Amino acid sequence: MNPNTPLAVLQQYWGYDSFRGPQQEVIDHILEKRHVIALMPTGGGKSICFQVPALLQEGICVVISPLIALIEDQVLHLKERGIKAIGLTGKLTFDAIIQQLDNLTYGGYKFLYLSPERLQNELIRQRLSTLPVTSIVVDEAHCISQWGNDFRPAYKNCGAIRDLLPEVPIVALTATATSKVVSDIRKQLQIEDAIHIQDSFQRSNLRYDVRTTNDKIRLLQKAIQHVAGSGIVYVNSRNQTIVVRDLLVKQGIQAAAFHGGLSVEEKKKLLQNWTQNKVRIMVATNAFGMGIDKSDVRLVVHYQVSTSIENYFQEAGRAGRDGKTAYALLLFHPVDGQDLKKQFIDQLPTVKSLKLIYRKLNSFLQIPYGEGQHQTHALNLSVFCNTYNFPIRNTYNALKTLENNSVISLEEQFSKRISIRFVLGNEALFDYLDKNPSIDLFVKILLRSYGGIFDFLTPLHIDRLRQKTGIALKKIFQLLEQLEKDGVIEMEGNHTDINIHFLVPREDDRTIASFSKYVKQQNKLRIWRIEKILDYIQQTNLCYSNYLLSYFGENSNYTCGKCRNCKKQAYAGNQGIQAKILQALEKSAYSSRELESQLGIDPTQLLLELKYLLDIDKININKENKYYLCKK
């Protein structure tokens, strides 16, 4: 085989024998130096579309990506394949940027990854104009549109790169974009003549389902038991990852909790355990997304409602990437709609609250006016909020808004960092334990787990300690404080929630004014998106797949024939038998055998009607496998 063909490069670096979907078409247009806008659903292999042609051309492919973690993940994956890549993120110092740019110029690198903020840096702009750039890739291109999910004003800088490199083709990639967003991408990137390639959003192997229930955990357990293989359960908060994981573990299900507050090492270990099937179910926030390359996920459950159709579609799309049957289940409690609005609408930051929180943040961290750019500060969010009497959720949302608008960059690390050293000798320590037997086991686990703990301050991994001892975190801190108070250990520690890297100098209200109109607009769009996801959940007649296809502008008469709404349309059931079942269940909950005995109905027909009534949410089934009427 000719080594200078796309297929040969694919086989050499990725080990695949063929391209999927429209990958080959996108690659061909890039090699022809055409502007391309490509829409490919989650798992469609967007990265291969620009990485393969870049390796076939002399020069550098510049990739603009919105998230530091996404850049770091892609650079790591390329390096693992022996491909030279550099990522310039907001965290790098000026000297580090110069060093990386020199490496790029003389080191034979093939890829340069940039955050959109970096395009404002004059040094980077000057270097870009001198580099042999073969193509410019705008990843997550929907971020450039004010109508797109996760709009980032800094992404508008992407259009300016056309002035620097007017002859270089632009490749805009995204997994989710409406026709309005695609039109805006063309305009903002100045690529009106771009080839538009859109893979179908149809996933015929993925069975969508929505269940309204008062007992989510039971239906979750039932789904996990029914579907073999690994799965993901999405929730909306860190605390819920722990709660749901613990509930599953109690039922004998191998589960782990994943959220943005974990360390890099912890995240890497959890992902490794899950991909190697040492853990079957990952309970996660939406922080669990990047770097997932597991094709055999059989089940994705939204235990809590996602904040938009775009997010839901991407997350659900992580199931069944191998083309085999998989399930996307959304569990909905009658009060979830109110909770969603309370959590994500009522607490949206206003321009006024942003100005106040930003001003107080600078004061709290003692950043003088006109300074702070490129500085990083540790912040205890709880202490900050208590100092100024700010609600924590509103404040956190405000910080995320500042991040999305390129004022700050957040590195979330919700943990208490503690180091200890035993100051008592062996004899004195064992004498202390004889007098305090309640703490004996805890101390001995510490001694077994950490070598050198008598000689120097040793950092503790608090969550691992919790797992080893079975002791709650609050109790662990109390025990450590007791040991310190009794003179058994010396302890150093600080409690930081977030590291904040400031991207611009402090200018208080002027900083916020630069993007205030976008904040108001984005707040309106967030409200609309939540209304659309609730509409998706509550509609009872349209095929779920068809609804999603229509949302993304794919005009299709496709119906899956497998979701509960399709089944409802295909089979109306025996209304006479159904009426008898419902009448019986008005008095009490019954098992299928009890209903068969009481009503004298053929068991096969009875089970058919019970399944139909379950599908249309007329009845439900409890822990004793008895059917009962759903509340109206």
Most confident listed range (92-106, 169-183, 354-368, 451-465): 354-368
How confident is the model at residue 73, as a pLDDT? 80
**C-beta separation of 218 from 331 below 8 A:** no
Tokens of 586: 């008005």
Mean pLDDT (the chain) is 86
Query: pTM of this prediction?
Result: 0.70
- The residue-averaged pLDDT of 449-478 equals 77
269-273, 405-409, 516-520, 568-572: least confident range: 568-572
- CB burial of residue 291 (10 Å; 0-12, 13-18, 19+): middle
Tokens of 385: 């909020």
Look up residue 292 and give its DSSP letter: -
Indicate whether 358 pLDDT > 60: yes
Cα–Cα distance for residue pair 369/392, rounded to 1 Å: 25
In the prediction, which pLDDT does 26 show?
A: 93
Domains, the chain? 6-198 (3.40.50.300), 206-334+539-557 (3.40.50.300), 342-413+498-526 (1.10.10.10), 424-487 (no CATH), 571-629 (1.10.10.10)
What confidence tens digit (pLDDT) does each residue in 39-60 have?
Answer: 987 766 889 999 999 999 999 9
Q: What is the pLDDT of residue 457?
A: 79
Element (H, E) at 412: strand 408-422
Q: What does the block give as tokens for 68? A: 């530091």
Task: Quote the pLDDT of residue 414.
Answer: 47
Closest CA to 530 of 284, 343, 285: 343
Confidence of residue 350 (pLDDT cuts 50, 70, 90): very high
User: Cα separation of 593 and 607, whole Å?
Assistant: 10
3-state helix, strand, coil split of the chain in percent (to 5) is: 50, 15, 35
589-615: average pLDDT:
82
pLDDT at residue 277 greater than cutoff 80:
yes
On whether the CB atoms of residues 318 and 312 are closer than 8 A, the answer is no
* Of the ranges 16-20, 33-37, 117-121, 343-347, the best mean pLDDT one: 33-37
Average pLDDT (565-586) is 80
Report residue 332: phi and psi, to 5°: -130, 120
pLDDT digits (tens, 9 = 90+) for 142-195: 888 877 767 777 787 788 788 888 889 999 998 878 888 889 999 989 999 999
Secondary structure of residue 331 in the 3-state scheme? strand
Over the stretch 308-325, which tens digit does the pLDDT of each residue have?
A: 998 899 899 899 988 899
Predicted pLDDT of residue 411: 74
What tens digit of pLDDT does each residue of 74-103 get? 888 899 899 999 998 766 667 778 888 888
**pLDDT of 216-237, one tens digit each?**
998 999 899 989 899 999 998 8
Degrees, nearest 5: CA angle 248-249-250: 90
Binning pLDDT at 50, 70 and 90, where does residue 494 land?
low
User: What string of DSSP letters covers 143-197?
Assistant: GGSTTSTT--GGGGGGGGHHHHSTTSPEEEEES---HHHHHHHHHHHT-TT-EEE
pLDDT in tens, 394-429: 898 899 899 888 899 887 654 456 788 888 888 888
Q: How many Å apart are CA 578 and CA 5, to the nearest integer?
A: 62
Residue 473 has pLDDT above 70, yes or no: no
On the question of pLDDT at 29 being above 80, the answer is yes
Residue 471 has pLDDT above 50, yes or no: yes
What is the structure's pLDDT at 571?
Answer: 66
pLDDT over 90, % of the chain:
32
Q: Are 517 and 507 in contact (CB under 8 A)?
A: no
pLDDT of 330 > 60? The answer is: yes
The pLDDT value given to residue 361: 95
pLDDT at 502 over 50: yes
